[in-house]
Chains A and B, each alone.
Chain A
C-alpha cells in the first residue's frame, strides 16, 4: 500500500497516534477477515479489536528498524488469524463462565450455515457456503477474493508458498461454485 510508508513513519514518530492511523487505514480489512473467517459473526468486532490490541502490544516492543521493515496489512492479518485460532482453542478447552451463551452446536434450532445457504440471497448463501469450506480454503478465499489481497500477501499470511496459496484459493472457489450451482439447480428443479 502506498501510504504504508507514511503509517510506518507515523508509528515511529508517535506510536499511539500512528497506531490510530493504522486502525483507520486497515481496520476495515481486519474486521472483514474476522467476520468471514470466524464462526461467531457477533464476535467479529471483538476479535478484530483484540487482534489490533495485540498488534499494538507487539509494536511497543519493536525497534524503529523493525517497524521500518513491517508490511502492515499481512502482518495485522497474521496476528488476527493467530488470535482467532487461540480463541477457538481456549473456547474448546474451557466452558465459558461469563454468562455468555456457549457456541451453539449444529443441532440448535437457529439456522446453521447450510440452512442459511439454501434460503437467503446470494450474499447469505455465499457466507454460509464459505463457512463450510475447510479452514485453509476458507481463509485463502477470504483473503484473496473477499478482501482482494494479492497472492503474495495471501501466501505471507498463510505462511505458505504462492503456489499453495493460489491452489487453496482456487480449490475453495471451485467448491463454492459447485455448491452454488447445485443449490440453484435444486431450486429451479
Chain B
C-alpha cells in the first residue's frame, strides 16, 4: 500500500514487501510483562492477596492486614504504577510455599533497593522453625552495622511469608515486631515448630547461644545442631566472645 501510485508497477515491490515482513508479532509474553495478576490464596495467617508479574510474585499481604481488596489493589497501582487484573491461576509454586511444603516461588524484587534486596536474600536463607537476630541479617547482608536499617527493610518486605522475615528476631531474644503484628509472628514461628516458651526462657536467662561441650561448637539456640545437644552437654553463653573465650568455635551452619 503506497501513498501515491507513482508508476505502473504491476509486480509487487520486493523492498516494500520485505519491509512489511519486518513487522513480526510481539512475543506472546508482552501482555504478561505489562499487566500483573492478583490472586487470593490460603496461608497460615488466613487468606492472603498476592500480585505477580511475568518475573514472579511482587507483593503479598494478609487479607486481615491489607483490608479491602480494592483498596489494596489501588495502592499497588499507585505505588508501582502497574496495571493489575485478576489472574487466571496462582503463580507457580505460591500455594505449596504458603502451605510450607515447597521453597519460595519466583519473586520479582526489581522495585526493591540494593540494600533491602541483600537483606531479603539473607533472610530467605533462614530455615523454617529457626530464628536469627537482626544483627545476624545485617552481617550476612554485608552491612554489619546497619542493624536498624535491617529492621526497616524487613518491615517493608513486599513478600512476607515467602521471604520469612518472621524468622528475624531481636538480639535480646525477644520476638520483636512484625508487619501484621507481633501476634502473627508468634503464630507463624509456633506453626513451624519453634518452642516459644523455651525462646522466652532463654531470653530471660540472658542465654543467646548454646554450645556442646563434646564438640566445642556454639550455635543459635534454634539451630538444628543446637537442638540435638543433650542436656548433660549443653552450655549456654551470653555472647560469642564469651563462647570463644571458653574455647568454642561458631557453628558453620547457623554462623552466630
Q: Is the CB of B24 within 8 A of A177?
A: no
A156 to chain B, nearest CB (A): 16
Complex CA gap A83/B21 in Å reads 25
B245 at the interface (CB under 8 A from A): no
Complex CA gap A123/B20 in Å reads 10
Tell me whether A45 and B26 are in contact in the complex, defined as CB-CB below 8 angstroms, given that A15-B83, A16-B85, A56-B83 are known contacts.
Answer: yes
Complex CA gap A117/B237 in Å reads 72
Contact with B85, one of A20, A31, A52, A176 (Cβ below 8 angstroms):
A20
Complex CA gap A67/B92 in Å reads 36
Q: Is the CB of A176 within 8 A of B30?
A: no
Complex CA gap A19/B21 in Å reads 27
Where chain A touches its partner, the secondary structure class is helix
Q: Which of A22-46 contact B (CB under 8 A)?
A: 23-24, 27-32, 35-36, 45
Residue of A nearest to B34 (CB): A52
A70 at the interface (CB under 8 A from B): no
Contact with B81, one of A56, A122, A151, A177 (Cβ below 8 angstroms):
A56
Q: Is the CB of B35 within 8 A of A19?
A: yes
Residue of A nearest to B84 (CB): A16
A86 to chain B, nearest CB (A): 16
Q: Is the CB of B22 within 8 A of A130?
A: yes
Tell me whether A45 and B30 are in contact in the complex, defined as CB-CB below 8 angstroms, given that A126-B18, A145-B19, A166-B3 are known contacts.
Answer: yes
Contacts of B230 in A (CB 8 A): none
Which of B21, B34, B82, B84 has the largest number of chain A CB atoms within 10 A?
Answer: B34
Contacts of B18 in A (CB 8 A): 122-123, 126
Contacts of A48 in B (CB 8 A): 26, 30
Report the 3 A-B pairs with minimum CB-CB distance, sorted nearest first.
A31-B26, A16-B83, A32-B23
* Apart from A28-B26, A32-B25, A122-B18, 13 more pairs, CB < 8 Å: A16-B83, A19-B83, A24-B31, A32-B23, A36-B23, A45-B30, A49-B30, A49-B33, A56-B82, A56-B83, A123-B22, A126-B15, A166-B3
